[in-house]
Amino acid sequence: MSVSVIAFTELLGARVRDADGRLIGQLRDGVVLPQEATARVAFLVVVGPEGERLIALGDVESCGGRLIRVAPGIRGETVALPEALFLKRDLLDQQVIDVHGRKVVRVNDIDLEARPTNGRTELSVLDVDVGARGALRRLGKGLLPRRTLRALLARVPTRAIPWHFVDLIEADPARRVKLKIAYEGLAKLHPADIADIIEDLPPAERESVFETIDEEIAAGALEELQPKIKVAVVQSLDSERAADIVEEMAPDAAADLLADLPAEDSGAILSEMAPEERQPITRLLEFGQKTAAGRMTTEFLALPVDATVRDGMESLRTFPGGFKSALVIYLLDRERELCGGVTLLKIATATPATPLRSLTATPMITCSTEAGDEEVAELFDKYNLLTLPVVDDHQRLVGIITADDVLSLLRHRG
Amino acid sequence: MAMLLAVVGPGIITANVDNDAGGIYTYSLAGARFGYSLLWTMIPITIALVVVQEMAARMGAVTGKGLSDLIREQFGLRTTFLLMAALIVTNFGNIVAEFAGIASSVELFDAPRYVVVPLAAVVVWLVVVFGTYRSVEKVFLAASAFYVAYIVAGVLAKPDWYAALLGTVERPRSIVLTSHDYLYMVIGLVGTTIAPWMQFYLQASIVEKGISAKQYRASRLDVVIGCVFTDVVAWFIIVACAATLFAAHHHDIRDAADAAQALRPLAGEYAYLLFAAGLFNASLFAASILPISTAYTVCEGLGFEAGLDKRFGEAPVFYWLYTVLVVAGAGVLLLPNVPLVHVMVLSQVVNGIVLPVVLVFMLRLTNDRSLLGSHANSRIYNVIASATVLIVAVLTVLMLFTS
């Protein structure tokens, strides 16, 4: 016999007999132990006259839609299982994350691969069916003759997600640890896609994702969430975890988020943060939210006015901020007054000894800390800017606004 | 108070939509046939409505999932599929009834239904597809406020206030309870007040609004206020018809528009206008909510992509179902010789089958501690809720067999 694929719901209810033909019971569920193997079915749950029994897959000789045959003398054990994934209880009809398709889907059926080895049959989860085929199979089971149903199903296109592209969702932290649910697939996606998926989840499940994934990824996804959901998620986390994530956010995004929270929540989060992370955020929080200073980030690249291209390259190499903040290197004089800005392109195409000052774009476009959203948007539009330096009353550079900030402020206003 | 303002909406809107074309007709008929003698039903009906709606709201706030999601997760695909199919049938009947309400109310003002009904369908479709949840909710809350029209009409009808209040609190005489017609009317009142779609809609809008378990106490107030206001409106409709139609022995009315017409010589021009405009508002309001609520409920339960933030290609089943419900619901009214009565009877029958099932599911879900934790039903609450569910279920099944 060769490898075959069996639908889990087709197996459910199958009679389980031993090699002598003695009936043990009917199949009720399948058990996967993710701690040991992520796809292998370790036990079958069989319900018979004596109640529920577990049969190890090592005792299963063959597996068919109507009959499961086990080795002679096997009666099943009544041991209590440790935390495990029950296919029917925990997976069938539940929502999972389709990492490949980047969305939340509901499981209609589970395809199992049956592999005969040494007179035994091994079962492992191949994929989850989220399409019409799985649904039709379950609706038709017992109502239509098997053969008719099978012929009908063969015409329905399959929509299945390979098991390694499936991320399970589990709101209970203890179970999450025991089942090794870490949203690994989800964490590999783009932050904006992670945010879209999270928005489709119920609150407890959202919280579980943010408790589990890496802080840096969580910060990226959090920035992309709708403002209302963002606030709800942060409030659901304990302030220590929230502070860990907020520390990884760009200061302006962090300040915007904290400004939307009730004072006691934002205070609790700030007090959990390291002082050097906290300071730029508290400074931003002092400005009005709808002014240039409220929109800007304090993460930018600035060098003394007499720096050369070589210095510029060096500072780029060590710059800890994101790439949006490194598009332009600003030049400051001794009083920290802004003298000009040099774009990355100019730096990349000039010789190392060139003074940066000779590469500055003219005229230098800036705005004041008090500039409104409208003025900022106009400047970006008129001068086709990627970044806009914000200066105080003494022409000192205090922060920059990047083009993506303007895009989101325009979008949320309209 | 600020807490309440943040969560107000879903409860009030759901309860008010309940006073739709069918509801207004039933209340009018109750007043016209039996005068003040059915007013006593309003208090128990309000309690039952609050109990049932509270469970839906609580599940929404605590789990963050819709009722059809929970039913799917706990009771499996086949049950959900059958329930959703039945829900489409009964909701479609209701949608047709709403468009019929629109048609008959505008005809009171001599506007042709062939213009107004398609126009209403387009408005409904546009509001839902292009409105955001927040803006749509404001429109709906405004529509809810407009139900005051019925209270004013009730006052204009110059009822005998003492008799009306007495009828509300007095035990009904046992002679009337044995009357078949009277009993049938009681069942009709319950059936029109507690409907399956409301539970799905309320729970979904609680989730959509993002109300959390912490905000739930305020949200419960929203539900209670909504239910009480709705039944106060219903009370005034009964009173208005009792004071005029019943007193003038005008016992038979065909539909809600007919009631408005009959009021005209008895209660005056203003009462007539308020009744007619109120019917239009109520029908349009319910016609805006039922199709979209059905599309959401069905798609979520069966695992199809759903949501107005998705493009047509991403959620084809959702958009098709929604569009077909609106177009067919309005279209039926424009075809000559459509047996409307059959559509309504079928819808009522399916409604009677679906409601007990939904209520029992809700009871089981609200008792599931793994789902609701400390928010699961308490023992006392369970007694009240089970009794309510039992009575409502028995009455609906009775209605099924008597109609």
For B355-398, how does the pLDDT look when each residue is reduced to its tens digit (9 = 90+)? 888 888 998 898 888 788 788 778 888 888 888 888 877 877 77
d(CA B317, CA B307): 11
Taking alpha carbons only, the member of B127, B113, B99 closest to residue B21 is B99
CB-CB under 8 Å, B78 with A229? no
Q: Give B296 to chain A, closest Cα distance, Å.
A: 14
Residues A104-128 have a mean pLDDT of 87
**Chain B residues with CB-CB distance to A under 8 A?**
63-65, 72-73, 76-78, 81, 207, 210, 212, 302-303, 305
Q: Is A142 left (phi over 0), alpha (psi -120 to 50) or beta?
A: left
Please report the DSSP string for B277-316 in residue order: HHHHHHHHHHHHHHHHHHHHHHHHHHT----TTS-TTTSH
Check CB contact of A262 with chain B, cutoff 8 Å: no
**CA dihedral of residues B69, B72, B73, B76 (deg, nearest 10):** 180
The number of angstroms, rounded, from the C-alpha of B232 to the middle of its chain's C-alpha atoms is 14
CB-CB under 8 Å, B65 with A139? no
Q: What does the DSSP 8-state code read for residue B373?
A: G
Q: What is the pLDDT of residues A350-360, one digit of tens each?
A: 888 888 888 88
Could you tell me which chain A residue has the CA closest to the CA of B74?
A: A93
Check CB contact of A325 with chain B, cutoff 8 Å: no
Does the structure show a pLDDT above 70 at B19? yes
Could you tell me which chain B residue has the CA closest to the CA of A88?
A: B76
CB-CB under 8 Å, A138 with B64? no
Residues A373-390 have a mean pLDDT of 88
Check CB contact of A204 with chain B, cutoff 8 Å: yes
Q: Give A93 to chain B, closest Cα distance, Å.
A: 5
pLDDT computed for residue B3 by the predictor: 56
Q: Give B72 to chain A, closest Cα distance, Å.
A: 6
Sign of the four-CA dihedral B6, B7, B11, B14:
positive
CB-CB under 8 Å, A103 with B65? no
User: Binning pLDDT at 50, 70 and 90, where does residue B325 land?
Assistant: very high
User: Binning pLDDT at 50, 70 and 90, where does residue B81 land?
Assistant: very high
pLDDT computed for residue B178 by the predictor: 64
Q: Give A82 to chain B, closest Cα distance, Å.
A: 18
Say how many CB pairs under 8 Å bridge A and B: 37
pLDDT computed for residue B31 by the predictor: 84
The three-state (H, E, C) secondary structure of chain A, written as one string: CCCEEEEHHHHCCCEEEECCCCEEEEEEEEEECCCCCCCEEEEEEEEECCEEEEEEHHHEEEECCCEEEECCCCCCECCCCCCCEEHHHHHCCCEEEECCCCEEEECCEEEEEEEEECCEEEEEEEEEECCHHHHHHHHHECCECHHHHHHHHHCCCCCEEEHHHEEECCCCHHHHHHCCCCCHHHHCCCHHHHHHHHHCCCHHHHHHHHHHCCHHHHHHHHHHCCHHHHHHHHHHCCHHHHHHHHHCCCHHHHHHHHHHCCHHHHHHHHHHCCHHHHHHHHHHHHCCCCEHHHHCECCCEEEECCCEHHHHHHHHHHCCCCHHHHCEEEEECCCCEEEEEEEHHHHHHCCCCCEHHHHCCCCCCCEECCCEHHHHHHHHHHHCCCEEEEECCCCEEEEEEEHHHHHHHHHHHC
Does the structure show a pLDDT above 60 at B2? no
Q: Give B380 to chain A, closest Cα distance, Å.
A: 28
Identify which has the larger pLDDT, B157 or A146.
A146
Q: Give A65 to chain B, closest Cα distance, Å.
A: 19
Does the structure show a pLDDT above 60 at A212? yes
pLDDT computed for residue A157 by the predictor: 84
Check CB contact of A229 with chain B, cutoff 8 Å: yes
CB-CB under 8 Å, A202 with B212? no
Identify which has the larger pLDDT, B15 or A400.
A400
Of the candidates B72, B212, B303, the beta carbon closest to that of A130 is on B303
pLDDT computed for residue B339 by the predictor: 67
CB-CB under 8 Å, B73 with A94? yes
Range with lowest mean pLDDT among A170-179, B222-231, B361-370, B372-381: A170-179
Candidate ranges A144-148, B166-170, B197-201; pick with highest mean pLDDT: B197-201
Residues B264-278 have a mean pLDDT of 78
pLDDT computed for residue A253 by the predictor: 82
Q: Give A106 to chain B, closest Cα distance, Å.
A: 5
- Alpha helix stretches (DSSP H) within B109-132: 113-130
What one-letter code names the amino acid at A303? L
Does the structure show a pLDDT above 60 at A40? yes
pTM listed for this prediction: 0.79
Of the candidates B65, B76, B81, the beta carbon closest to that of A202 is on B65
CB-CB under 8 Å, A204 with B63? yes
d(CA B236, CA B152): 8
CB-CB under 8 Å, B303 with A108? yes
d(CA B331, CA B100): 10
CB B62 within 8 A of CB B372: yes
CB A282 within 8 A of CB A267: no
Of the candidates B64, B210, B303, the beta carbon closest to that of A106 is on B303
